[in-house]
Structure 1
């Protein structure tokens, strides 16, 4: 699913191990790993394509047996994005769990216009060039967020 050029030192977490790792990262950032935050992350990480706050609120509501407000889910997702537990896919207004929580590297997201699947690749030359261009333009703390839209191999094949 995800294509990695050269990130052999990353452990890609899945399932419970991903949820546990996210909890460790959030607590290390000085935040509390509440039951609600854990539920939101668990639902988010169960998607293999970007999920909206409404999708996640529905999933958490089903898990908890009572309705959950999308607003409270939005706040938690914003926290996850700030702490690198999740990435926001701007063009889809949706979120994707980071499979190596807390790791800050510049991903290039590939999003299929047809089925909505998202994968990412790492190309440090490309994101490095974008970072440098931003700094030359007088920007500090430049973080490239790159999204490529198109059709995935499944939808074109």
Structure 2
């Protein structure tokens, strides 16, 4: 396993955002999912909140399971291996997307961060994140050193 990155500038420059092709939904599950249900749903993420279980699943898998949910959302994965203790990556992304009027739901997993944005905003959000990464590669011209 590669070492997790903590440096914010490096994280942003190397985030390599990737937009998944299929739309995703947030779905509420009727109870604790069985192994068979998990295999059928193939959830991208599974949550156990005080109110019950919910998951992020592809719209196709939700439909096959007879579940409806909130969405559709575009899923963008940051392919950089970010440290769970890194400071500022979520804030930098949120600021960029907020300035463009794009709402984002962020999921931090063990190795990567993932964003769910309205499906209609997926391509635009991807472009904004790619631009943010390119700008991080360029030294700060205002402070030449």
In the superposition, the TM-score normalised over structure 2's length comes to 0.27
Higher relative contact order (CA 8 A, sep 6+): 2
Whose radius of gyration is greater, 1 or 2?
2
Structure having the larger proportion of residues in strand: 2
TM-score by length of 1: 0.26
More helix by share: 1
